[in-house]
Amino acid sequence: MADGPPIRLLARLDPENRFFWQGGADGRLRFLRCPSCRRFVHPPVPRCPYCLADGLAPEVVSGRGTLHSFTVNHQQWIPGSEPYVVALVEIAEQADIRLTTNLVGTDPADVWIGMELEVLFEHVEDEWLPLFRPVSTSPQDTPAPLGSPRSGGGAR
Ligand SMILES: [Zn+2]
């Protein structure tokens, strides 16, 4: 299993990108969306690069995407660390919005371009880093979302 690099770099937060790096606190991925042409925009900018409208606001997306490209990295200077996958993920809503991220929960040998992915977040300090994992094809091996215990309880 590859679970990403042993050390993750955090983004430098500013008023424009804070929604992106902290929005994952509720487990949902967000991008700025233009109120005029309705395109998603990433990385965050004050003005829509397509139609020049302003007033862009964060909007929740499905968290689904496909693998556009990837590399397998070997961290040779940190003893015992596993190879990990650096991925370029195309979000389901708009093909030209691509995130550079890590794939987790899969062996690097099982990774292929075009595979279906879903977001999950890793909470580090005051940021929720969006990572991706393969979408499970059969419902019975769908893992519970991170940080949310299975509901539906019952008698103990
Ligand atoms: Zn626009």
Q: Which of 30, 17, 79 is nearest to 58 (CA)?
A: 30
| pLDDT bucket at 143, cuts 50 / 70 / 90 | low
pTM tops 0.95, yes or no: no
- Write the pLDDT tens digit of every residue in 94-120: 999 999 999 999 999 999 999 999 999
Ion ligand 1, residue ranges at CB < 5 A: 34, 36-37, 48, 50-51, 53
d(CA 99, CA 111): 17
- Write the pLDDT tens digit of every residue in 52-87: 999 999 999 999 999 999 999 887 787 888 889 999
| pLDDT bucket at 139, cuts 50 / 70 / 90 | low
Ligand 1 centroid to Cα of residue 19, in Å, is 19
- Write the pLDDT tens digit of every residue in 36-57: 999 999 999 999 999 999 999 9
Ligand 1 centroid to Cα of residue 136, in Å, is 34
Burial class (CB in 10 A: 0-12, 13-18, 19+), 154: exposed
Residue type at 91 in one-letter notation: I
Other CB atoms within 10 Å distance of the CB of residue 46: 11
Ligand 1 centroid to Cα of residue 80, in Å, is 47
Q: What is the DSSP letter of 47?
A: B
d(CA 91, CA 143): 21
d(CA 78, CA 74): 9
Residue type at 97 in one-letter notation: I
